[in-house]
Structure 1
């Protein structure tokens, strides 16, 4: 399997001539997509191991080369199909935007852990880090220095914990600041949705920036079919601001499916809960938006440590209350489904 495209090498025409002589010596021609392919060593070793697993093979020689421009263009065309990928009304991929009216409520932490929890439930999941100015998804998922591979004009996103990830942080050097205005932000979001090869995803999560500015409006226009999770802390002031992001989402035609209350309290050794940020904000926000509270995620040291280490708490400490709350959220979203009503299906007679 190609670790970036996640399809069999033979299906991608990356395997050329093969032979096996009477002495048990096998030869396999391997064509990489580009020069300097970051997964080259892994792919070559996988090919070698697969060949050695065939009965009668004693030795393997892998002849590594690179696709010609024509072969590369044919591959890109085949992967994309007749048109660039679109997450429009007829897509079978569920698009879920994680939003809030303000920063610091834990949208990125919720998004990253939710993505891994959905992947663990067998759903092919991707994350688009739409927070152009405050991108943090690569770090939270443990791939802060990852760079996408470009094949022609198609971008192959890195994979972390089984989740495909794309972020503007992968296209800038170090801690370089991004200072863009509306039109450029819109084009960037559009490119991330069309030029990135997401493949056949079950769920695409969007980590939106705080507020109701350019990116939220652009994604509302580009993805009017998206579902929206509104994240807030229990604090009343945070809930009031978060309500505005839900209102804007509905104005663009998106569907608010629920509220996630983050930092809901810190469990104490004696069984009590220290409510550092108050209580009731999630319930009040859900009442105003007329949607359910899908999860209440408690304050958690392992959750914070996992974010710093790039090891999501749902993997590092699945028994932690925060991990269990996020896993329960993944289960709730998986059960909601999207339904087929009103969509055309890709069948012909």
Structure 2
């Protein structure tokens, strides 16, 4: 099912609550708005937030002749989404599964979803280095077009957890495309001044120490937070925001690296 996918991007972090799902959804939406055909796979089985963020909670997954058909956000089918959230009756339903059942579900997501031809497949992962990550790594280890974007916040406690994720990627052979520092200050929606609520520059310093490309700082912006649940891209709704500029730059970097590797 992944043979027609040109590039796979894993969004990872060793820390929960750093905004991986926000980064994943905004990256997917920015790629879509840039003219690419995109898939977004949510493998956070215990906390599937992608359907809510993209305003797709009332959608259902259907079985087609070639496998599961993703839920599409647009009539042109330029952004397809798959999540266990579509298989649950309610947002409040808990997925209480042991490791083997989680492993089986993720393998099914990777092997049985009919993505068809994609420019990018974004995979939103749970925090840590658990069964879900090991299963993904085992299935994608030999996929040449696979790489990881690591998300952190500026605080030292987050940096220490994310450092372990970098080690995990290197041990499992997944190339790291770069690091994003999320929640990097608070951007006032009225004057655009950015105030460092937490510490600043932790992600950038981690990238420098680890010799990994630094992809940019995404601030806390209440206007971007209000887009969650609407399925709207910051690049179209808030084109002058810092968040939009970071994601536009990230998409350009991904495009340029694809050209250089071809």
Q: Please report the TM-score for the alignment, with normalisation by the length of structure 2.
A: 0.90
1:48 aligns with none
Asked if 2 retains the 8 angstrom alpha-carbon contact of 1:139 and 1:307, the reply is yes
Uncovered stretches (5+) of structure 1, i.e. residues with no partner: 1-84, 342-349
Task: Tell me, yes or no, if structure 1 residue 267 matches structure 2 residue 184.
Answer: no
Larger radius of gyration: 1
Higher relative contact order (CA 8 A, sep 6+): 2
Q: Deviations over 1:260-302 (max 9, x none)?
A: 1111112346664211121111112212331111121111111
SS in 2 for 1:254: coil
Asked if 2 retains the 8 angstrom alpha-carbon contact of 1:118 and 1:125, the reply is yes
Asked if 2 retains the 8 angstrom alpha-carbon contact of 1:142 and 1:160, the reply is no
SS in 2 for 1:307: coil
Separation (CA, whole Å) in 2 of partners of 1:328 and 1:286: 17
1:252 aligns with 172
Separation (CA, whole Å) in 2 of partners of 1:339 and 1:328: 16
Uncovered stretches (5+) of structure 2, i.e. residues with no partner: none
Task: Tell me, yes or no, if structure 1 residue 229 matches structure 2 residue 149.
Answer: yes
1:205-220 equivalences in 2 (<5 Å): 205-220=122-137
Asked if 2 retains the 8 angstrom alpha-carbon contact of 1:140 and 1:312, the reply is no
Closer/same/farther in 2, CA of residues 273 and 209 from structure 1, 3 Å limit:
same
Q: Deviations over 1:190-237 (max 9, x none)?
A: 111121110101110000000111111110101113200000011121
Q: Please report the TM-score for the alignment, with normalisation by the length of structure 1.
A: 0.69
Separation (CA, whole Å) in 2 of partners of 1:271 and 1:297: 13
| Aligned mate of 1:122, from 21, 35, 38 | 35
- After TM superposition, give the deviation of residue 124 of structure 1 in Å: 1.0
- After TM superposition, give the deviation of residue 313 of structure 1 in Å: 2.1
1:197 aligns with 114
- After TM superposition, give the deviation of residue 134 of structure 1 in Å: 0.7
1:69 aligns with none
Question: Which deviates more from structure 2 when the two are superposed, residues 244-253 or residues 215-224?
Answer: 244-253
Separation (CA, whole Å) in 2 of partners of 1:187 and 1:153: 19
- After TM superposition, give the deviation of residue 248 of structure 1 in Å: 0.9
Separation (CA, whole Å) in 2 of partners of 1:271 and 1:194: 44
Closer/same/farther in 2, CA of residues 262 and 340 from structure 1, 3 Å limit:
closer
